[in-house]
Structure 1
Amino acid sequence: MSLVKFKSRPLENLISTDFFDNDEFFGSKLWNKKLDEPALNIKETDDAFEVELAAPGFEKKDFDVTINEGCLNISAESSKSKEEKEDNYTRKEFSYNSFEKRLKLPDSVKEEDVMAKYKDGVLSFNLLKKEDSKKLKPKKVEIV
C-alpha cells in the first residue's frame, strides 16, 4: 500500500485534472493575478533603453501612459460587445481586458523625451539617456 498526499484546495473539484496540473493552477502562477500582466522586454543600448510590452487585442486609444515621480505608468482597458437578435433568441457576447504596469525609471533617462509606438500588438518605448550618463566608448591607452 502506498500513501498519497491529500491536497484540499477551493474549486479543485470543478476543474478537470486532465487539463490542469493542480500544483501549477492553484499555486503561484494563476491565483496571484500576475497572468494578466503583459510580457515585457527591456534592452539597454549606449544611448537608450528600449522597452517592448506585448499587448495584443488593444488599440492605441485604449492605452494611458504617464510618467510620474520617476515611474513609467502604463495601463490599458478594452471592452467589446456584440449582440445578435434572431426570431426566437438573442445572443450577446462581450469581453473585457485590462492591465496596469509600473516601471521605475533609472535616473539616467530623459523623462521629457520618452517616445511610444504601438504596432502589431506590441507597445514600444524608446527611453533616451541623458548625455552625462551615456556609456563612453573604451579609450585605447598607449603604453610607452
Structure 2
Amino acid sequence: MTLTKLSNNWFPSVPSVFDRFFDGELMDWNRSNFSSTNSTLPAVNVKENDNDFLIDVAAPGLKKDDFKVNFDNGSLIISSEKKSEVEEKDGEKVTRREFNYQSFQRSFSVPENIVDPEKIRASYENGILHITLPKREEVKPKPAKQIEIQ
C-alpha cells in the first residue's frame, strides 16, 4: 500500500486538511513556528533548587539589549523585539531590500510570597538568557532539627 498526497484541483488556493496532515504540520506538536514568517517561540527550561527558581531561554542570535524582563504582580514577563534592515545598492538604485522583524513574549505566574522580586537577576550568554528568581528566606527548606530525648 502506498500513501499518496491528495491534490486539491478544484480549489488550489485553499489548503486541505490532508495537505497539512501529510506535510506533518497537523500532528507535529514539537514544531514551534507560530507564524508564516518562520519566527519561533524560544524553548524554555525551568528548574528549581533549594534556594532559587532558574529559567533558561534559548534565544541565539540576539543581544542582551534585545530583551526585556519584567516582574509585575506575580508575573514574570520575558519579551524580545529585534528589527533589522539590510539594503544592497547598485549605485544609487536599490536592487534589493530586506526587512526582518522578530518578537516574542513569554510569561510565567510566580507567587510573590515565594520569590523575592528585589533579588531577581538575569544574564545573557552564548545564546541563552538565564534568569534567577531567588526564594524568600522563610520558604527555603530548613535542615531537620535533632530533638534531644531527656
Task: Give the structure-2-normalised TM-score.
Answer: 0.72
- 2:78 is aligned with 1:102: no
Cα distance in 2 for partners of 1:16, 1:130 equals 48
Q: Which residue of 1 aligns with 2:127?
A: 121
Alignment coverage as a number of residue pairs? 138
Question: Greater helix share, 1 or 2?
Answer: 1
Q: Is this contact kept in 2: 1:74–1:100, CA < 8 A?
A: yes
1:43 to 47, 59, 63: 47
Q: Contact 1:73–1:103 at 8 Å: present in 2 too?
A: yes
Q: What's the TM-score, normalizing by structure 1?
A: 0.75
Work out the CA distance in 2 between the residues paired with 1:70 and 1:130.
14
- Stretches of structure 2 that go unaligned for 5 or more consecutive residues are none
Q: Distance in 1 between matches of 2:20 and 2:90?
A: 35
Alignment of 1:1-144 (within 5 A): 10-12=14-16, 20-24=23-27, 36-86=40-90, 90-106=95-111, 107-139=113-145
Contact 1:24 1:30 (C-alpha < 8 Å) held by counterparts = no
Deviation, structure 1 residue 24 = 2.9
Superposition deviation, residue 61 in structure 1: 1.4
Task: Report the alpha carbon displacement of residue 74 of structure 1 after superposing the two structures with TM.
Answer: 1.1
* CA displacement 1:117-137 (0-9 Å, x = unmatched): 011111111111111100123
CA distance in 1, matches of 2:32, 2:133: 32
Unaligned runs of 5+ in 1: none
Root-mean-square deviation (Å):
3.8
